[in-house]
Structure 1
Amino acid sequence: MIDIHPFKAWRPRPELVEQIACVPYDVIDTDEARILAEGRPDSFLHVIRPEIDLPEDVDLYSNAVYHTGASNLKMMQDNGILVQDEQPGLYLYQQQMGTHTQTGLFACVSVRDYDENRILKHELTRPDKEDDRTRHILTQRAHAEPVMLTFKSTGAITGLTNRTLSASDPVYSFTASDGVIHRVWKVEEPGAFVDAFRDVEKLYVADGHHRCKSASRVAEKLREGDYGDDEFEFFPAVIIPMDEMRILAYNRIVKVVPEGFPEKLGAAFELRPDVHPVPQSPGKVSLYMAGRWYGIDLPESTSSDVVEQLDVSRLHRHLLLPLLGIENQRTDPNIGFVGGIRGTEELERLVDSGKAQLAVSMYPTSIGELMAVSDNDQLMPPKSTWFEPKLRSGLLVHTF
C-alpha cells in the first residue's frame, strides 16, 4: 500500500514556465549551468545550481552556496515568479520525446515508504552527495526537484490518468530547447488517485537515489525537534508506469588501453569488424578503437544471480577486469561514462580526438532487469541505466 500525499505546490506563472523550467542539477556541471542560465534570471538553475551566482572559484560545498540557493528560491516566491496553490493537489506530468510519450503522477510520496522498502532502490548512494542534497533541502526548507519512480500500473490508475488527460487542457505546455514537449495537468479528483495507489504494493526508484536518501535524512533530523507539522515526512516524485519508461544505454570509454590489448582482445573474443555501432540485442557489445567498430558477444552467465546476468556485469567480468585491469568502475580514473542520449557519434569523437583509446557501446538495461534487481534487494553496477527524457526542474516545488 503506497501513501500518495497531495501537496501545496509552488509553481510558475504560466507565462513564465518555459523560462523557469530547467534540466536537473545532476546532468550538468557548474560551467554548463552558467551557460544555460546566461540571460535567464528566472531560470530554476539559480535555485538548484546556486554557485552560478557566486565567483567561479567558490567552494561548491560552502555555506554561501546553500544560502544563495535558499535566497533565490525565496526571491522567486516573494516576487510572484512562483505562486503557491491554495489547496493540496496532485498533477499529471507528460513528456513527449519524438515518438515516445510517458505520463506520470506528480505527487509527494512518504519517507516511511522509502525507509520501509516499499520504495525500492537499485543504486549505491555516496555519502558526500547525500550530504550535499541534505544541506540543500534543509537550507531551502524545500524539495526543489522530484525523483523519478516507476511501478506496475493498475487498470484503475490507467483509467484515472486517461480521464484526467481528456477532461481539461494542461496548465502548462511548452517545448524545451532539446525538443522535448512538457505538459502538466491538474488532477481534479486527487482522492481517487490516493485511493488507487493503496492497491500498489511498491514503487521503484529510477532516477534520484540521492534525493530519496537525503529526504529520509532530513526527516530523521527534523523529527528530533518540534517542527510544527509533518510535511517534511514527504518528498516529490513523478510516478511513471513501467511500460512507459525509456532506458537508453550507458556507454563506457577507456582512456588508455595497455600494450598488447588488441591481441588479448582477439584471443578472448571472436571479433566481428565493421558492425553497427549500436548493439541490436542483449549480450552484444560494439567496440570502437583506431577508427573502426568491432562486435563481440559476451559469454552467457552461469549464475542464477540477477546482477551477474546483466550485460554491464558480464562486460566487467570478461573484458574490463581481465583485459584492462579495471577493478572498481566507481573509482578507477581510466574509465569514463557517456549517456546514451549523446549517441555513438560522441564515442567516436572521444576516441578520434585522443581523449580515449577505446569506446564501448552497450545494449540498454531493461526495466524488467532493474525491477528484478530491486526486488532482490540488490544493487546495480555503476552507471547501468540512463533514463530519457529527463524530468524538468522548477515545475512543481514542495516546501515544508
Structure 2
Amino acid sequence: MALIQPFKAVRPPKDKAAVVASRSYEDYSKAERKAHLEFNPFSFLHIINPGYKFKKTISGVERFSLVRNRYLEFKEDHVFIQDPEPVFYVYKTRTRNHSFCGILAGTSAEDYKNNVIKKHEDTLEKREQLFKEYLKTVGFNAEPVLLTYPDNNSVQEIVEEVTAGVPEYEFTSIDRITHYLWKLDDKKKIEELKSAFAQMDSLYIADGHHRSASSYLLAEELKAENPDHDGSEPYNFFMSYLIPESHLKISEFNRMVKDLNGLTKQEFLVKLDEWYRIENRGSELYKPSKKHHFGMYLDGEFYSLYLRKSIYEFTDSLSELDTQILYETVLKPILGINDLRNDTRISYGYGQHNVVKMKDLIDNDKFKVGFGLVPVSVEEMKNIADEGLQMPPKSTYIEPKLRSGLIVYEF
C-alpha cells in the first residue's frame, strides 16, 4: 500500500517559471553557470550557489545557511509564492523524441523505511548524513525523487482528464524541452488518485536514492525532536515525481579503462577468450543489441563479445545484469578494478553519440579500452530491487531529468 499526499507547493508565478527553473547544478559548465548567474537574477542557481552574491566560493554548513537566506529572499520578493491549499501537480515534458508525464506528490518516509518504496542502488552514509543536514537547515526540497510504478488505468484516466485543461505553466527552455504543469485541485480526484496508489504494493526509485535516504533520516530526527508528532507533519513526506513505467527511458553507461593492467593486447585478448567468444568487427562502429553481448573498442578496432554461458553461473537477478557480468569477468579479474566508485582508472560515458565519443577518447590515448552495453530494462531494475540487491554504480542513465526550483516542497 503506497501512500501519497498532496502538498502546498512553493513555486514561481506564471510569468517567471521559465526563468526561475534550472537544470541540476552539475549539468552546467562553469561558463554556463556564470552566464546564468550574471544575467538572470531570477534563476534558481542564485539559491543553490549563494556565494555568487559575495563573489566567493562558500561550502559546508555556512553554505547551507546562505542557501536558506537566498530562498527566503526569493519568497520576500515574490519570485516564489505558495499555493494556499494542498494539491497534486501533473508535470509533462516534451523533447523532439520523447514525452514524459507524471505526478508530483509527497511520498511517505515510512514507506521508504518499510520497503514499499524500493531501492536498486546502494547509498553512501556520509552523503546521506550531509544531505540530511542540508535539508534540515534549508527547510525545503527543490528536486524531486523520481519514482516509477506499473502502468495503471485509473491513474492514467485522472492524468488525461487533468491534462485536457489549460496548463498552469507552458514554456520551452533553451535546451528545447517544452514544460507543462497542471494543478490537480479537485478534492474528489485527489482522493481517487490517493486510492489508486494505495492499491499498489510497491513504488520503485528510478533516480534519487540519496535524496530519499536523507529525507527518511530527517523525518526520523524531526520525529524524535517533536513531542507532539502525529504523522501528518510535512517532514514525514518527501517530494517525488511519480511516472508510469512505460514513460521511463533508461540508457546505458559505457565503461572506459585507462590501461590493460600491465597486459599486452594479445595477453588481454587471451584472458578475455576464457569468458567470451570474440569477433573482430574492424573499424566500423559497433553497438551490442542483446543482453549478455558487449561491444569493445581496442587499438583502433571494434570487437563483439559473446558471453560463454556454459561457464558463467547465474544465481540471482544481479548476476544476470550486464554491468555486473562485465565487472565479474573483465573489470575485476583481468583489469584489476575492484572499486568501481573510486578507482581513477575507470570512467563512464552516456548519451546518443557515446560510442563515437568513446572511440575518440581511446584514439587520442585518454583511455586504452572501452566497453559498450545494452541498456538495463525496467524489469531488471525492479527484480533487483525486489530481491534487495544493488546494481553496480553507473548501471543506468534514467530520464526524465527534472528541473530544480519549478516546484518546491517545504518541511
Using structure 2 for the length normalisation, give the TM-score: 0.90
Identity %: 29
> 1:52, CA displacement in angstroms?
5.0
Residues 1:7 and 1:24: Cα distance change in structure 2 (over 3 Å): same
User: Where does residue 299 of structure 2 map in the other structure?
Assistant: 290
Q: Aligned residue for 2:368? A: 357
CA contact (8 A) 1:351 1:357 kept: yes
Per mean C-alpha deviation after superposition, the further-off stretch among 257-266 and 183-192 is 257-266
Deviation at 1:388, TM superposition (A): 2.1
Q: Specify which of 144, 147, 160 is matched with residue 146 of structure 1.
A: 144
- The verdict on how the C-alpha distance between 1:128 and 1:93 changes in structure 2, with shifts beyond 3 A counting, is same
Structure 2 residue 380 is the aligned partner of structure 1 residue 380: no
- Contact 1:283 / 1:311 at 8 angstroms: preserved in 2? yes
Report the CA distance between 1:251 and its aligned residue: 1.5
Provide, for residues 77-115 of structure 1, a one-character-per-residue CA deviation record: whole Å limited to 9, x for no partner.
111111110100101111223222121111110111111
Structure 2 CA distance, aligned partners of 1:56 and 1:342?
37
After superposition, the Cα gap between the structure-2 partners of 1:97 and 1:191, relative to the gap in structure 1 and judged at 3 Å, is same
Question: Which of these two proteins has the greater Rg computed from alpha carbons?
Answer: 2
Give, in angstroms, the shift of residue 67 of structure 1. 1.3
DSSP 3-state at the match of 1:91: strand
Number of equivalent positions: 397
Partner of 2:318: 307
2:76 counterpart residue number: 78
2:183 is matched with: 186
C-alpha distance after superposition, 1:253-288 (max 9, x if no partner): 112233434213422241322353432222222222
Question: Does the aligned pair in 1 maintain the 2:285–2:355 contact within 8 Å?
Answer: no
Answer yes or no: is 1:271 the counterpart of 2:279. Answer: yes
Structure 1's consecutive aligned runs of 4 or more residues displaced over 6 angstroms after TM superposition are 29-32
| C-alpha deviation, 1:146, in angstroms | 0.4
Residues 224-260 of structure 1: CA deviation (Å, up to 9, x unaligned): 2238771111110000111111000111111223343
Contact 2:248 2:400 in 1 (8 A): no
Measured against aligned partners, the alpha-carbon deviations of 1:191-221 in whole angstroms (never above 9, x if no partner) come to 2211211111110001000100110111111
Q: Does 1:108 align with 2:106?
A: yes
Counterparts of 1:266 and 1:335, CA distance in 2: 19
SS in 1 for 2:224: coil
Q: How far apart, in 2, do the equivalents of 1:75 and 1:203 lie?
A: 36
- For residues 170 and 383 of structure 2, the distance between their equivalents in structure 1, rounded to whole angstroms, comes to 35
274-283 vs 113-122, which deviates more? 274-283
State the AA in 2 paired with 1:74: L
Whether 2:9 is the aligned partner of 1:9: answer yes
Q: TM-score, normalised by structure 1?
A: 0.92
For 2:348, the aligned partner's letter is F
Deviates more, 1:259-268 or 1:212-221: 259-268
CA contact (8 A) 1:285 1:297 kept: yes
From the superposition, tell whether residues 70 and 204 of structure 1 become closer, same or farther in structure 2 (CA, over 3 Å). same
What are the superposed Cα offsets for residues 27-70 of structure 1, whole Å, 9 maximum, x if unpaired? 56877644554422221123334455565654x3x222111211
Distance 2:328 2:35 in 1: 40
Superposition pairs of residues 1-400 of structure 1, within 5 angstroms: 1-25=1-25, 27=27, 33-34=33-34, 36-50=36-50, 53=53, 58=58, 60=59, 62-166=60-164, 168-189=165-186, 190-226=190-226, 230-267=233-270, 268-269=272-273, 270-274=278-282, 275-300=284-309, 301-340=312-351, 343-400=354-411
Gaps of 5+ in 1: none
Q: Distance in 1 between matches of 2:123 and 2:25?
A: 16
RMSD of the alignment, in Å? 2.2
The runs of 5 or more residues in structure 2 that have no matched partner are none
Q: Distance in 2 between matches of 1:256 and 1:182?
A: 43
Q: Find the residue that maps to 2:347 and give its secondary structure.
A: strand
AA aligned opposite 1:378 = L
What is the distance in 1 between the residues matched to 2:286 and 2:341?
25
Distance 2:43 2:4 in 1: 29
Q: Which amino acid aligns with 1:64?
A: E
Q: Secondary structure at the match of 1:109?
A: strand
1:394 deviates by 0.9
Change (3 A) 1:292 1:97: farther
Alpha-carbon distance, 1:319 to partner: 1.3
| Separation of aligned partners in 2, 1:352 and 1:54 | 43
Q: Are 2:51 and 2:57, in contact at CA under 8 Å, matched by a contact in 1?
A: no
On the 8 A contact 1:8/1:398 being kept in 2, the answer is yes
Q: Does the CA-based 8 Å contact 1:97-1:389 persist in structure 2?
A: no
Distance 1:360 1:157, change over 3 A: same
| Alpha-carbon distance between aligned partners in 1 of 2:264 and 2:160, rounded to the nearest angstrom | 54
What secondary structure sits across from 2:260 in the alignment? coil
- The question of whether the paired residues in 2 share the 8 Å contact of 1:48 and 1:144 is answered with no
